[in-house]
Amino acid sequence: MGETKDRIEELVREYHREQAPGPFVPGVSPVQVSGAVLSAEDRLALVSAALDLRIAAGTSSRRFEREFARFIGTRKAHLTNSGSSANLLALSSLTSPQLEEQRLKPGDEVVTVAAGFPTTVSPILHNGLVPVFVDVELGTYNTTPERIAAAIGPRTRAIMIAHSLGNPFQAEEIAQLAEDRGLFFVEDNCDGVDSTYRGRRTGSFGDLSTTSFYPAHHIAMGEGGCVLTGNLALARIVESFRDWGRDCWCEPGEDNRCMKRFDQQMGKLPHGYDHKYIFSHVGYNLKATDLQAALGLSQLSRIDEFGAARRRNWRHLREGLEGLPGLLLPEATPDSDPSWFGFLITVSPDASYSRAALVDFLESRRIHTRRFFAGNLTRHPAYADRPHRIAEPLVNSDLITDQTFWIGVYPGLTEEMLDYVIASVREFTARG
């Protein structure tokens, strides 16, 4: 049996070599904005897990949770099926009756950012809470502690914001603000894995934090995400919400870790009701599988390599595009070291050309672009008639909606590709 698996692994390596991409051809080969960078070891990790039929959450999932929590700098991590689910779990956990008077209740407010991705905001609405929208700064594309402080009202109970394209917001100051005002702080770190603020990894500042392992992100599982926390009581609540809402904490295949499986009385159930089927939350099933975790473990071993490539590619673009007319280039937040998700460009409203024209030119050269996600979320039909409060004029969020886009810095881009991007932007802006 071992010999058979060895032969399969050698065939997998051979197949991986056959899939190597051809040489880059400017104008023909696409310059993607993002994508998973997968090695032969990644492919082998998936195949090995599949051969062992590890198709549910199991040993690889638990190992990934331990290693990822250690990497970020928190006590607990709970793997989920996506980053969006991680956001939903994180915020839903704060509505738990186990938090007693601290729990979030329908009608409570959560301060968030207008310019970003919907899954930072949608969980607020799913839980009957009210998003309070603040604006961001151009350049960093993050909000500030001052903007958040000004938005806090008598019903405000939490803050939930994302690090914009891997650029950390002022996480230490915002965490302190939340503590001083008695607010929960949820740190959406889906785009910022491996970034640091004041020498500390993003994802370690919030009461809860979230990550995504979609192929566009810093490490890939295909689909996948994670909720992290240093608070063991919150970790237990997150696990319950993720695992159908059950009260039991036994791993799959375990039966009686608490030694009281048939010796408890909860709710209006009869004494001795099987603890494996007692539910303390209205929860979900948002677990991931060992197939995903096996790939995640392989990818996690390369996180330093990936972060170095993202930083190097961002610097290459920043230096190559410096000083071009009509372009506002991105800036790292002071005291931060971003592991960049993308390279944001804002076309000045008084430029001699439009954002649309520049984007069309780049796309015609097979240089892929993306908008800064939803732009100003309050302008989308999904949110138009939902309860919300706008704390300040969303001037920069509106400008971003009209004038901003981003290009890739992910590790799959070569210096030749980046030089082609730079030359293309330079050629367009030189036309006036």
Element (H, E) at 336: strand 336-337
pLDDT recorded at residue 432: 67
By residue range, what is the domain housing residue 368?
1-431
Distance from C-alpha of 376 to C-alpha of 403, rounded to nearest angstrom = 12
Q: How far is CA 375 from the centre of its chain?
A: 17
The Cα 384–Cα 270 span in angstroms is 47
Buried b (16+ CB within 10 A) or exposed e, 84-109: bbbbbbbbbbbbbeeeeeebbeeebb
Closest C-alpha among 200, 210, 205, 204 to residue 335: 200
Q: What backbone torsions phi and psi does residue 358 show, to the nearest 5 degrees? A: -65, -45
d(CA 167, CA 253): 41
pLDDT value for 58:
87
- 217 as an active site residue: the answer is yes
Residue 142: phi and psi, rounded to 5, are -110, 160
Per-residue pLDDT at 162: 98
Q: Identify the three-state secondary structure at position 213.
A: coil
What's the total number of domains in the chain? Answer: 1
The DSSP-derived string for 337-393 is E---S-EEEEE-TTSSS-HHHHHHHHHHTTB--EESTTSBGGGSHHHHTS--EE-S-
CA angle at 300 for the pair 294 and 302, rounded to the nearest 5°:
120
Q: What is the pLDDT of residue 1?
A: 56
Per-residue pLDDT of the chain (432 residues; tens, 9 = 90+): 578 988 999 999 999 999 988 999 999 999 999 999 999 999 999 999 999 898 888 899 999 999 999 999 999 999 999 999 999 999 999 999 999 999 999 999 999 999 999 999 999 999 999 999 999 999 999 999 999 999 999 999 999 999 999 999 999 999 999 999 999 999 999 999 999 999 999 999 999 999 999 999 999 999 999 999 999 999 999 999 999 999 887 776 778 777 789 888 889 899 989 888 989 999 999 999 999 999 999 999 999 999 999 999 999 999 999 999 999 999 999 999 999 999 999 999 999 999 999 999 999 999 999 999 999 999 999 998 999 999 999 999 999 999 999 999 999 999 999 999 999 999 999 986
Q: For residue 350, give the CATH number of its domain.
A: 3.40.640.10
- Name 199's Cβ contacts closer than 8 Å, sequence gap at least 6: none
Cβ contact 174:350 at 8 Å: no
Amino acid at 274: D
Q: Bridge partners of 347?
A: 327
Question: What pLDDT does residue 352 have?
Answer: 96
Selecting among 78, 163, 217, 388, the annotated active-site residue is 217
